[in-house]
Amino acid sequence: MSRPRPAGQHTVRRHNSALVLGALSTAPGSSRAAVAAATGLTKATVSSLVDRLIGAGLIAEGEVEFRLGPGRRGTALHLSPAGPHGLGVEIGVDHITTWLVDFTGHVRRKWVRPGDNRNSAPARVLAKVATAVRAAATEDVPIGGVGVAVPGLVEAATGTLRVAPNLGWREVDVRDELVRRAALDVPVLVGNEANLAALAELRHGVGGRDFVHISGEIGIGAGIVVHGALFEGVSGFGGELGHLPVDPRGPVCGCGSRGCLERLAGQDRIVRAAGVTTVAELLTALAGNEKAALAAVRTAARWLGVALSAAINLLDLPTVVLGGTYAHLEPWLGPPLAAELSRRVLGAQWSPVRVVASELGADAAVLGAAGSAIRAILADPDPYVASVLG
Amino acid sequence: MSRPRPAGQHTVRRHNSALVLGALSTAPGSSRAAVAAATGLTKATVSSLVDRLIGAGLIAEGEVEFRLGPGRRGTALHLSPAGPHGLGVEIGVDHITTWLVDFTGHVRRKWVRPGDNRNSAPARVLAKVATAVRAAATEDVPIGGVGVAVPGLVEAATGTLRVAPNLGWREVDVRDELVRRAALDVPVLVGNEANLAALAELRHGVGGRDFVHISGEIGIGAGIVVHGALFEGVSGFGGELGHLPVDPRGPVCGCGSRGCLERLAGQDRIVRAAGVTTVAELLTALAGNEKAALAAVRTAARWLGVALSAAINLLDLPTVVLGGTYAHLEPWLGPPLAAELSRRVLGAQWSPVRVVASELGADAAVLGAAGSAIRAILADPDPYVASVLG
């Protein structure tokens, strides 16, 4: 136990602990000396911080010493796979998915509970979510936090889910409900699924540091990443690509507007237009070159192109990452979408737009949700360290 | 003349000079002691920097001493109105406008040369611009730089005007042409007119620190300001609101796409639909409640609402500033536009969108262009100071 220190000292230690973890996250296997060089902290400070972070289980020492240079040796340090795990939850329209991800970002366990959550009362769905979270928490690993991905507007300042049109939910305090129902004593973060998916893409994906990631499912959302950071807008309501009015006189949408993209290019619409009932059947039909399926995807690609050309004319981003169901449709969806963009983006000739499939597919949101719990600890490890060391 | 110093010292002085000017820009009338307090520099450093900046004409001392506190007195310092002036040029579709703005941001002189520049060869128009610049440079004030606003895509990395659809220009190096033709020996900055207008709005306007500013003229552009900074996209091509495809099957646009906003809500379209020939006549007709004029503006408001709801669903910005001709149309344009946004923006209920008229109107771009030359000196005064002091 350390003696009480002035507030300033505490703040400095918190900040410096985050610097040390950040250095090891960027360059795993660094020695104490290398961490000191990377952070600008003294070796003595780094050693003291590292000892504390090892004590709390966040950092592990490598088994072998390695040569750093002439006459110098150092012990390799890593973020510890036995450190705090992130528990990611995705409340989807037709599933509840839970992933346990270790402190280094590796997935340890996955659970999926299919089931239609549309127009279920939030209390009913959140009871199922709480059961899922409690089940995952019985695994014999420390849980550092829970991240929850929801398909709707989450207000950044309050964490409240304001509206989730495809669930039929309004004004649900998912965080408080879940803390109460699952009796959680770790931080719970609630975020928009498309934003969390984009963060997973940023960490693990193919989009680079500037892209728009499309979560194409029953709803359509986007996560906008600029210079390696998520752009959420002033209230956290940005990236609502699914509600861009691509056909202003088109069909009424659940949100109250008309001709929204997700009514014209969402998964349900494509499947129905293709004359099948599931995405798996759609993919089979596409692989068999069935006309109705090919036409359904081409039509969706054109509407998606209208929405994305609006986004790129405004934001001038070099890459579109097709995520969710769209990732699997990319061989058919990508080329007509790219053609639409080259026609409709004013700067396309000088700043061409690359369309790529996410390798994470529909898993990006739950991975991003788990990652948000880990990122919170990396950014400010002290609350977790204090909870372990007392 | 100062002795040669190590490079590090120079860099520090450049940085610190910018800090001093920034402090006086934020708090005009500060004393040397107040500048020291605001910047964290020592009083000795501030005094030395201030003397040099006074010598180069960037700072002026007030005539009266004032009491700072018990027993302390200081001379008030200001950015000098006799310091380097910014010369702003706007190459519009139907005018060339030149403004001379002093170092404190006050407009000293204005020139306007009406004339249709559509489909004129760039060389012809740039010869007129060079004449205008040379005429302005004969004023008896120091010119610190020239900012040029153009209605097209300006590549951030190269400064090249890639395309200006409404001028019919492609691939024009406006900067080099102008430096050569006007024999300029000061920095020349070329920027997109909508972006420069948004920067003027940020400095002088009513939009706050997060807004989208619409330059509604013959073309329609937007400048996106987030957390007090312009968002231009990776290549500088962002904000092309005029080319959002609001009616994907609509009329062909000069850019090669279909149903672009500026074909449906641009100034020419509104004027024609109202059955008049000029904006002045349109305003008269609106003031007289003439049906065709009212209907023309309502229709434009609906299309503008479609485009802006796309922008705000993506960016979640709290304010739309109507600039250019739209500023004058705001009494008629604003209410139906706001209604369209409240219907079509998913988060509007929790993050309402304010629609306001710019007080700068059509002057924002040329003011922003002049300001860009002054901002460049405020950000890095040393090249100008060195040119004066030798």
Residue B236 sits at φ, ψ, to 5 deg, of: 90, 10
Q: How confident is the model at residue B254 (pLDDT cuts 50, 70, 90)?
A: confident
Residue B73 pLDDT: 64
Whether A189 contacts A225, CB under 8 Å: no
The answer to whether A244 contacts B313, with C-beta atoms less than 8 Å apart, is yes
Residue B71: CB atoms within 10 A of its CB come to 6
Residue B102: CB atoms within 10 A of its CB come to 22
Q: How confident is the model at residue B68 (pLDDT cuts 50, 70, 90)?
A: low
DSSP assignment letter at A100: E
- A245 interfaces chain B, CB cutoff of 8 Å: yes
Given B155, B235, B241, which is nearest A314 (Cβ)?
Answer: B241
Domains of chain A: 7-79 (1.10.10.10), 85-196+365-389 (3.30.420.40), 206-359 (3.30.420.40)
Match 């090669």 to its residue by tokens. Answer: B256
Across the range A50-71, mean pLDDT stands at 79
Residue A3 pLDDT: 46
Residue A40 sits at φ, ψ, to 5 deg, of: 80, 5
**How far is B242 from A310, CA to CA, in rounded Å?**
10
Cα dist. B238→A289, B156, B234, B312 in Å? 38, 11, 8, 14
pTM: 0.91
User: How confident is the model over A296-326, as pLDDT tens digits?
Assistant: 999 999 999 999 999 999 999 999 999 999 9
| Neighboring chain B residues of A210 at a CB cutoff of 8 Å | 234
3-state class of A294 per DSSP?
helix
Residue B31 pLDDT: 92
Which of A346, A353, A354 to probe the B interface (max B CBs under 10 A)?
A346
- Interface contacts A/B by beta carbons within 8 Å: 148
Contact residues, B window 256-295, toward A, CB-based 8 Å cutoff: 256-257
| Neighboring chain A residues of B311 at a CB cutoff of 8 Å | 310, 314
Match 């004066």 to its residue by tokens. Answer: B388
Contact residues, B window 153-172, toward A, CB-based 8 Å cutoff: 153, 155, 162-163, 165
Across the range A65-83, mean pLDDT stands at 75
Residues in contact with A258: Cβ distance below 8 Å, sequence separation at least 6, in sequence order: A245, A247, A248, A249, A250, A251, A252
ipTM of the shown complex: 0.91
A182: tokens are: 């699952």
Q: Which of A66-70, A257-261, B20-24 has the lowest mean pLDDT?
A: A66-70
- CB hemisphere CA count around A68 (13 angstroms): 15
- B173 interfaces chain A, CB cutoff of 8 Å: no
Closest residue in A to B351 (Cα–Cα): A235
- B245 interfaces chain A, CB cutoff of 8 Å: yes
| Neighboring chain A residues of B226 at a CB cutoff of 8 Å | 231
| Neighboring chain A residues of B244 at a CB cutoff of 8 Å | 309-310, 313-314
The answer to whether B350 contacts A162, with C-beta atoms less than 8 Å apart, is yes
Q: Which of A50-64, B5-19, B283-297 has the lowest mean pLDDT?
A: B5-19
Residues in contact with A27: Cβ distance below 8 Å, sequence separation at least 6, in sequence order: A34, A38
Q: How much of chain B, in percent, has pLDDT values that exceed 90?
A: 84
Across the range B323-328, mean pLDDT stands at 96
What's the one-letter identity of residue A43? K
DSSP letter string, A17-48: HHHHHHHHHHSTT--HHHHHHHHT--HHHHHH
Which of A169, A314, A344 to probe the B interface (max B CBs under 10 A)?
A314
